[in-house]
Chain A
Amino acid sequence: MESVDARDRTRRRHTQRLGQLRRRAVLGSALGFAAFLGLAAQHAVGSTKGAPKTPSPPRAAPAAYFDQQADGFAFDDGSSAPLAPPVAQTNVS
């Protein structure tokens, strides 16, 4: 016959074991998600497998890249006198 103490010890071991399993499951999920995030980030920035470091250049939104402040470039509105002859010319490149 198993004593009351022995049953208590068995129950405590069970409880501890279940707790450990739950913690591992939670940790595993977290690590898995982190790994997923890492993979997603790596994919997003275009890293190669086995690359020495994750590439780190900032993502540039189109408007941010072109950085067009309102006064970044300007043309004369030409409302008064006609233009003088050109001083320069673009060349197709």
Chain B
Amino acid sequence: MSSHRFRAMGSDVHVLVAARAAHATRAVESVFSTWESALSRFRPESELSRLNARAGTPVAVGPILLAAVEAALDAARATGGLFDPTLGHELVRIGYDRSFEEIGDAPPAAGRPRGGGAWRRIVVDRSAGTVTLPAGSRLDVGGIAKGMAVDASLELLGSLGIETALVSAGGDLAVLGLPPGRRAWGVLVEGDPDRQVVPLVRGALATSGTARRRWRQGDVTRHHLVDPDTGEPAVTGLRAVTVAGSTCRAAEVGATAAFVAGPRLGPGLLERVGLAGLLVTEAGRRIRVGRWPGHSLSDAA
């Protein structure tokens, strides 16, 4: 297998393909570059930044942003708003107003939290190719966009005739085919106290948690998983949630929603929609949901 790594969408991207298909990794890099150009909220020239700057008026958008907005709205509806793409203003308020590497110590929060829910008032006119955000709102499609870029990359690789590949971007990964001589892709799940190796045969995995994207704002430690009800970083007693789904997009949305829902409601949410997952509490307790497997690294040793 050929391994290729690059940096995009604020994450380390890892592509594994058969050695003879190494050239295809450049195609994946191109996919991520295109998606980041359209959807970064840290690039003033991105389509998303232009849309946010003109909240309250219809804005013509390209196919990638339109797809991301529609996917985010579908995700918000499907999770009853636990996944909320209109928390951009809260992320800015708590200091996440630049790429994570540049945050450092964020200045104190200005203003009070307003919470989410503005997604309900987003107007999409597909025939005109326009999106209208509610005035004063700010869209953030970071998580779902990364998952969609992984899905798009695998689709591209498949269309190029590649039968075996893994694409991982930060917490989101998906696979195509099986690695040579193996029954499954062994994937180590970050944040799992048991250091579980998940034997993924088909589909995607996504992890949402608070271990990495944390920063200081004054005396307060912040993280990026905001509770739409409070507008503040979610405090649910969970450390990380990893979810398996048929697509990276579904897994990412499931992981974020289950994290925000917390250890009491999150498992039921995942079960209802047919996802499998592993929830890890702050105390290190593991909650397995659905068809989540039971291997651990110690089994493989």
Contact = CB atoms under 8 A, between A and B. Distances in A.
Interface residues of B, number: 84
B11 to A, nearest CB: 6
B108 to A, nearest CB: 26
A92 B209 contact: yes
B273 A66 contact: yes
Contact of A88 (B188, B201, B300): B188
A64 B75 CA distance: 11
B203 to A, nearest CB: 3
B250 interface: yes
Given A67-B246, A68-B275, A72-B246, A83 B186 contact: yes
A87 B179 contact: yes
A87 B171 CA distance: 15
30 contacts: A46-B120, A46-B121, A47-B121, A52-B125, A56-B125, A57-B73, A59-B77, A60-B75, A60-B77, A62-B78, A62-B273, A65-B77, A66-B274, A67-B247, A73-B202, A73-B276, A75-B200, A75-B293, A76-B201, A81-B183, A82-B295, A83-B197, A83-B299, A85-B186, A87-B179, A88-B14, A89-B188, A90-B171, A91-B170, A92-B208
Q: What are the 5 closest A-B residue pairs judged by CB atoms, nearest first?
A: A73-B203, A72-B246, A93-B171, A68-B274, A46-B120
Nearest to B117: A46
Interface of B: 1, 11-12, 14, 16, 58, 70, 73-75, 77-79, 119-126, 128, 130, 132, 134, 143, 146, 166, 168, 170-173, 179, 182-191, 197-213, 240, 242, 244-247, 250-251, 253-254, 272-276, 291-295, 297, 299-300
Q: Is the interface of B mostly helix, strand, loop or mixed?
A: mixed
Nearest to B239: A92
B14 A73 contact: no
B16 A87 contact: yes
